[in-house]
Amino acid sequence: MTYENFISYIEHPENLAEEQIPELKELIEKFPYFGAAHWLYLKALKNTNSIYYGAELNKTAVFSQERRQLYFFIHPEELETKNNRERVSKDGSYFDMIESFESSDENKRQSLKSLAERLKAARENLKSSENR
């Protein structure tokens, strides 16, 4: 494996295929504490739906200091979903926020509806107390 190959794997881990697995495994055997090699090897196993993915995930998690970053490296679509939710909640109106939360989980939908009802009742109470 060349330096250029390794850098291209880091820049485009979604392109890792079965051909790179032996190279990455050899790199891990030579340098067992090289975390980036473990991450790339794990990503290659995930991309190829390898049966060794689960066992290797446990090993790689031990070597990883940032397991959350490892998760989002392996599942980049989850990071995009998380970022989209955050963007909607920061940029959207009150009703956009409710809509985004409602679409994510049924329990959240119920709690947000009850929160909205309590806010509405509190506003009505404030208005009625101001009118007195």
pLDDT at 1 over 90: no
Final residue before a domain boundary, out of 36, 68, 100: 68
Q: Are residues 53 and 94 in the same domain?
A: no
Number of domains in the chain: 2
pLDDT category, 121, cuts 50, 70, 90?
A: confident
CA distances, 111 to each of 49, 94, 107, 116 (Å) = 38, 15, 6, 9
SS3 assignment, position 18 = helix
Q: Are residues 61 and 93 in the same domain?
A: no
**What residues make up the domain containing 117?**
77-131
pLDDT category, 78, cuts 50, 70, 90?
A: confident
Q: Are residues 62 and 21 in the same domain?
A: yes
Token representation of residue 83: 């970022």
Residue 65, pLDDT score = 87
Final residue before a domain boundary, out of 68, 86, 107: 68
CA distances, 97 to each of 87, 92, 104 (Å) = 10, 6, 11
Q: For 13-70, what is each residue's pLDDT tens digit?
A: 999 999 999 999 999 999 998 989 999 999 999 999 999 999 999 989 887 888 889 8
pTM of the model: 0.60
pLDDT at 108 over 60: no
Q: Averaged over 90-107, what is the pLDDT?
A: 60
Q: Is 64 exposed, middle or buried (0-12, 13-18, 19+ CB in 10 A)?
A: middle
Final residue before a domain boundary, out of 34, 68, 102: 68
